[in-house]
């Protein structure tokens, strides 16, 4: 996991160029306001990692949302084999 630097929103906005460069070494800058995180700034490397993780997310479907066709297909599935 990337290192993280916390900085207030005021400092971040007043010294954006500094923190933009800083992001290359720390990876993630958490921007705070009144001692709570309101956003973040990611280095290019961390942004690419974030995009890769988002692409690998899976949709979760509750069992109650299955229709009859989905249930039938699930019952006839051969586990451990590649779909046709």
Structural domain includes residue 60: yes
Number of domains the chain is built from: 1
* Domain housing 54: 4-75
Structural domain includes residue 21: yes
Question: Considering the entire predicted model, what is its pTM?
Answer: 0.64
Residue 71 has pLDDT above 90, yes or no: no
Contact 21, 36 (CB under 8 A): no
Structural domain includes residue 82: no
> What's the rounded Cα separation, in Å, for the pair 64 and 19?
47
Q: Give the pLDDT of residue 58.
A: 81
> Across all residues in the chain, what is the average pLDDT?
89
């Amino acid at each position: 996991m990337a290192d993280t630097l916390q900085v207030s929103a005021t400092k971040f906005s007043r010294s954006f160029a500094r923190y933009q460069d800083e992001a290359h070494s720390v990876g993630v800058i958490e921007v705070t306001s009144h001692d709570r995180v309101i956003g973040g700034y990611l280095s290019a490397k961390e942004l690419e990692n974030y995009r890769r993780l988002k692409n690998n997310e899976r949709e979760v479907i509750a069992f109650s949302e299955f229709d009859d066709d989905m249930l039938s297909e699930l019952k006839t599935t051969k586990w451990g084999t590649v779909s046709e």
